[in-house]
Amino acid sequence: MISVPPEHVVAVRHGQSVANVLFERTRAEGVPMALPAGSDPGVPLTKAGWEQAARVGRWLARQEPPETVVVSPYLRARQTWKAMAECAGLPAARFDERLRDRCMGVFHGLNEIALRERAPHCVREWGYRPPGGESLPDVAERVHELLGELAGQRVLFVAHDAVVVALRYVACGERPAVPWPVPNASVSRWVRDGDRLRLVEFGRQPWKAVRRR
């Protein structure tokens, strides 16, 4: 429970990244793979990811602007924010480690096939913490701490799927059997309802209805 929640929260997952494309391709092929050690923070967007982010920005330009923008320090989130900001008059962002992606420890950079080979019964469980990594409750703890500093504000987060899932847990107390899907460049929104946050939409892409320019 957050003592005094933000007034309004919009959470955007980063646009399509190079790793997303590799993971999707190897999943379809049934081939295990792993990103180079330590590479996750520097994974960039694809061309399509940049365009997705720009379209999110054009959608945001039609909404009531946030007072505070907080962005994950990972490159794909920073690039998403850059493309969004170029299309909308938004306040300057600050980068916060508490919005970084979930640390998978010894499973860093593994695709779904490789994860199933190494820990088939554990990797998608809510409370599972890989050796040297974080569970989703661990991510929720840092998200909760950040939300507690944003009382009464209109907030925009640009981050990762694990962060958005953790935010839903912190805001609404919902804990799924497996994490909810959070598509690239999707928007999730909560509004203050008394002393809590009420979910308005989750994992949606309302920018698809905005005409390209």
How is residue 59 annotated by DSSP? H
The token pair that represents 141 in the structure block = 């703890």
Enumerate the domain spans of the chain. 8-209
Local structure of 103: helix, strand or coil: coil
> How many residues are given for the chain?
213
pLDDT of 213 higher than 70: no
Query: 8-209 belongs to which CATH class?
Result: alpha beta
Give per-residue pLDDT as tens, 173-187: 888 767 789 999 999
pTM for this predicted structure: 0.94
pLDDT for residue 183: 97
pLDDT confidence of 10, banded at 50, 70, 90? Answer: very high
Q: Tell me how many degrees the CA angle 181-164-144 measures, rounded to the nearest 5.
A: 145
Q: Are 103 and 166 in contact (CB under 8 A)?
A: no
- Determine whether 178 is exposed, middle or buried from the number of CB atoms within 10 Å of its CB (0-12, 13-18, 19+): exposed
- Determine whether 35 is exposed, middle or buried from the number of CB atoms within 10 Å of its CB (0-12, 13-18, 19+): middle
More confident residue, 190 or 208: 190
Give per-residue pLDDT as tens, 89-130: 888 999 999 999 999 999 999 988 898 888 776 767 888 899
